[in-house]
Chains A and B, each alone.
Chain A
Amino acid sequence: MIVNRQQSRWAMGTGVTSAIALVVYIVYSVTTPNGPRGGTFMGLFFASLGTGIIVFECILGLRKRYPASRLGKVKTWLKAHTWLGLISFLLILLHSGFRWGHGLAGALMWIFAIIVASGIFGVVLQNYIPRRMTELVTRETIFEQIPTVIRGLRIEADERVEFVTADLGLEEEDPEYVHAGGVKQYFDPAQKKSAAEKVQAVVERRKSSPQIELEETAREALRAHYLQEIRPFLTDRPISVSRQLFGARESVGAYFGHLRTIMPVAAHPLLRDLEEMCEERRQLMVQKKLHLLLHTWLLVHVPLSFALLVLTAVHAVLSLRY
């Protein structure tokens, strides 16, 4: 959720509601001889309001599961979730008389504080990371597709390096999946067979002998650089040495600048392509990191919210019992 001027009414509403609640609390605490407590009428009033909002906060997931529901826009629900969540914490503090509590009550306060803190952290991240990702990751892809894209980069790099080194002796499994770009259709089976044979012939020629003439030493040097440093980076989980070697755009540029210096000019087009692929892989690495940062807080925020709901119910019943 992006916090911008469009939410000024929500912010103002939250501020006014909080101010009213505080004024009511001050009057209540001044007029109560023994000070504010959770078990008084006003304490229970604040608790009821706070708990009601907590329940509302928890059904946001349900609302998202039914996007076509007529119960208001999801966007509105999300705004309400954010701003009412802040009010609910204040109401619970008013309920407890700004005491943290002991035992179950103390645990509830800690859990609630963590939930609120993680929520605020999440809102801050949502306002910062997408913008930052646009700046840093120009080759962004769908998060779940990152392994597939990396595999495609690796296969493409292998094929291109084989233009210099011939067969690298690497076998890549070819899992079946539905390509998003579609598949070329042949209405004539003979035509399809002919096309496949042509592709196979090209592959065989590339693997059988180098297609770009280089000195033997340069060829071996390129093979070594590729197998030991570049290809390990084009995997799902590159080793730390590779991550450090290609950790920044400047590092990638410097590495391939050095290779172009020591390699003959005939290998330069290949090196430019490899550099481009390494840069894309690096950006995917950054994307993954930012994506996890953007969503990992939910692993704390959401499960703890439901645990809070259970504990709150028990706290309410047992506190009223005693």
Chain B
Amino acid sequence: MAKEEKPLEYQHRIRETKGVAQRLDLDYLKRPAVLAVLRARLIWILVGAAALACVPLVLGIGGTKRTLSNGPLSRAHGVFEGRCEVCHSQAFRAIPDASCERCHDGAAHPSKPIDTAKSNVTPACVQCHVEHRGKVLLAEVVSGNCTSCHANLTSHATGVKLRATEVTAFREGKHPEFSPAGRRDLRPMQLNHAAHMPKEPITIRGMKLPMKCDDCHVMDRNSADYAMLPVTFDKNCKSCHSRELQFDVYQSLGPDAPPSPHTKDAKLIQEIVANTYRDALARNSALLIRPLGRDLTPQPSAAAWLERVTKESLDYLFEKKCTYCHRAESYAVMMKIAPIAGRFPEPTPWLQRGEFSHRAHRAVECDSCHSTARASTKTEDVLIPTMKTCLPCHGDSRASLDRCSECHRYHNRTIEREKERRPTEKLVGLLRLPNSHSGGSQ
């Protein structure tokens, strides 16, 4: 009989230190940790990828240079996008002025010939005109570039004759009053704005008053700043003041007598008046026996009649008619200067240092700025607004309209040749169109 074996006793699981330790493999330290290996491989992959990505950058292959740009170029320089060396002509140096002067004229400061001061140091172009800031106008420089000198002008320039040498902002007390303030208009005219723009409506010589500003002051829409076209007699005054040119003092020429031309050439006027009477006499010899005013005596000859009528017509014209608008010492004085053209030079802008754009202000009523115009009775009244007029919009509005470059220019544009050049001339040698490269080696 086989001996019956007892079943194996089931040992309950005991988790003691030795048992736990025996489950571990001591060789694990010799094997690289998965995460560490993965990390090391990723380092090499990414470093390699970064280095590879930089190769075209360093070699300047294709358009990769664009990625080095720290911002888009201004609109005017957009054609040079990706062609860094056009401006960055010197390695590891700031952009030289010569790079800018290939297209643009160099700096000429002060900007107006009336300013004779000379700055001690001429800043580099890029110091004020900062590129790579997107589609901005490079001409709109930050005021700090101006005030860095103009806040204490005497220490930055020699020969300073400006009244204000400490200009820090377009604010009361920080910017001088405009130069026309306190001045008088000494041009020999007798213009009365108040008479042309009475408060109550009235009709004179068939003209309904008050007139509007743009009846006389018309903006030139072909100019960049909508500069005011000059007020001329023929365009702006003749419709009402044509009788001021009537010289026929004795009514010899009848109701259809032609007026004198409105010209500064007194000699020409003399000739035209004389010729007009000569022609009239040739057509109608009966003029000789017609009384001349209160003088009932017929003239002895045609020449005598012509001389007298011409002289007295001219006297009448110059002494009675012209002086309706023009202030003249006497006809005799005027006649000494023949022709008189050039005696009174063409008017110069009142704001000689600033640049005012009527275009930018075309949405504003004239009265808003020229507030004294309607009440002005004298020609000598200067109707240019004062600084106080501009401040509500430009100085204190915080609308970023108080940049110096809004009104002032740094460069003396009058001596620049840039505007004389053809646009294509500036870009020759700089702008190579992509088509010109196709198939060629660079």
Contacts and interface: CB of A to CB of B under 8 A. Distances in A.
A and B together in one complex: yes
B26 A180 contact: yes
Nearest to B24: A180
B7 interface: yes
Interface in A278-322: 292, 295-296, 298-299, 302-304, 306-307, 310-311, 314, 318-322
A144 interface: yes
A211 interface: yes
B26 A179 contact: yes
Interface stretch (B8-16, B187-195, B237-245): B8-16
B88 A322 contact: yes
A239 to B, nearest CB: 22
Contacts of B130: 34, 37
A211 B147 CA distance: 102
A163 interface: yes
B33 interface: yes
A102 B21 contact: no
B294 to A, nearest CB: 78
Interface stretch (A5-13, A122-130, A268-276): A268-276
A306 B47 CA distance: 6
Interface stretch (B67-75, B158-166, B408-416): B67-75
A272 B13 CA distance: 9
Contact of B28 (A144, A213, A303): A144
B61 interface: no
Contact of B144 (A33, A145, A304, A322): A33
B8 A306 contact: no
Interface residues of A, number: 60
Given A34-B144, A298-B35, A320 B92 contact: yes
B292 interface: no
Contact of B142 (A34, A303, A307): A34
B50 A307 contact: yes
Interface in A119-158: 141-145, 148-149, 152, 156
A68 interface: no
A116 to B, nearest CB: 17
Nearest to B84: A322
A306 B46 contact: yes
A177 interface: yes
Contacts of A149: 23-24
Is chain B's interface secondary structure helix, strand, loop, or mixed overall?
A: helix
Nearest to B23: A152
Contact of B12 (A177, A273, A303): A273
B22 A180 contact: yes
A63 interface: no
A314 B54 contact: yes
Nearest to A322: B88
SS of A interface (majority): helix
B145 A34 contact: yes
B188 to A, nearest CB: 46
Contacts of A144: 28, 31, 33-34
A202 interface: yes
B90 to A, nearest CB: 10
Contacts of A145: 23-25, 28
Given A145-B28, A163-B10, A310 B51 contact: yes
Contacts of A177: 25-27
A180 B21 contact: yes
B306 interface: no
A34 B84 CA distance: 21
A311 B50 CA distance: 6
Contacts of A270: 10
A248 interface: no
Interface of B: 5, 7-8, 10, 12-13, 15, 18-28, 31, 33-35, 38-39, 42-43, 45-47, 49-51, 53-54, 57-58, 66-72, 84, 88, 91-92, 127-128, 130, 141-145, 147-148
Sorted nearest first, the 4 A-B pairs with minimum C-beta distance are A33-B144, A181-B22, A103-B67, A181-B21
16 contacts: A34-B144, A141-B24, A145-B28, A148-B23, A148-B24, A148-B25, A180-B26, A181-B22, A182-B21, A212-B7, A298-B39, A299-B39, A299-B42, A303-B42, A306-B46, A310-B50
